[in-house]
Structure 1
Amino acid sequence: MVTMVGNEGSIEKLVKDLLYLEHDAIAAYDSCIERLDDKSLAAKIDEFKQDHLQHVAVLNEIALEIGIEPPAEGDMKQMLTTGKIALADLFGDSATLKAMKTNEDDTVTAYERASKHEDAIPSTKAFFLTAHQDELRHRAWMETTAKSM
């Protein structure tokens, strides 16, 4: 799935969409963790999930600062992110990590775009850049690990 998150005209819509994306990502992480046969892989995925939980906490603060109600869960895309994981599980841990990598492609793109949003104040842009680095790290690990299996 190709995300459009990061192209929003207003910072309010951007933050709300990033929160939806993060909640969808967390649901995918939960699905992945329960499906992986290799528990050391599941432990690493859980570490990455903690980054996403931290992103939600910061985005919630930003949402309140800019006067919007932060969404508490994902949107309909959650079925796509978790569905990919369920299907990939039929083919083993490598396929599951590859499916997770495609989800990370969206978060990488979203935070890269967000970091350039003209309405974001410097501290918000700094957070977007940090989150982007987290997502790049997650994606690289998933890609490298899936290829080595």
Structure 2
Amino acid sequence: MATTIGHESDITKLVQNLLYLEHDAIAAYNSTIDKLESEALKAQVAAFRNDHLAHVSTLKTIASELGIEAPREGDMKQMLTTGKVAIAGLMGDSAILKAMKTNEDDTVTAYDRARQHQDARPESVAFFEQALGDEQRHRTWFEDTAAAA
């Protein structure tokens, strides 16, 4: 499912939606770690989850600077992100990694759009670009590793 995050006209709504997306991603990462058979794959996925935890921390700071409340958990999309992983878990590690790659497609799109938001401050744009790089790296790893598995 393609994300709509990044089309918000209000920067505060964008930051809140990015936080929901990150919380959803963390839930999917937790589910992935629980379902993967390979300890090596689990370790790499856990490292990527740490990137998402760092993104949440920075987004909370941005939310505070904007004077808005930061969501503390995901939204209804969390069922979609974790559901894909749960279903893929029935088919093995490669299928789980492919499911996670599709989740990363959404985070890549969201941060790519966020870095172009007209009301984003330079510090926020720098963070959005760094997060985009993280998400592109995650997506590439999931795609390459799933293909090799």
Alignment TM class, shorter chain as reference: over 0.9
Give the 5 Å matches for 1:1-149. 1-149=1-149
Residue aligned with 1:8, SS: coil
CA–CA separation in structure 2 for the residues paired with 1:39 and 1:112: 31
CA–CA separation in structure 1 for the residues paired with 2:7 and 2:143: 26
Residue aligned with 1:28, SS: helix
- TM superposition shift of 1:39: 0.8
- TM superposition shift of 1:76: 0.3
CA RMSD between the two structures = 0.3
Calculate the TM-score normalised by the size of structure 2.
1.00
AA paired with 1:139?
A: R
AA paired with 2:116?
A: K
Following TM superposition, the consecutive aligned residue runs of length 4 or more in structure 1 with deviations greater than 2 angstroms are none
- TM superposition shift of 1:36: 0.1
- TM superposition shift of 1:100: 0.3
Q: Deviations over 1:33-66 (max 9, x none)?
A: 0000001000000000000000000000000000
How high is the sequence identity, in percent, across the aligned residues?
62
Q: Deviations over 1:103-142 (max 9, x none)?
A: 0000000000000000000000000000000000000000
AA paired with 2:99?
A: A
Number of positions where the alignment pairs a residue of Structure 1 with one of Structure 2: 149
AA paired with 2:105?
A: D
Calculate the TM-score normalised by the size of structure 1.
1.00
CA–CA separation in structure 1 for the residues paired with 2:83 and 2:121: 36
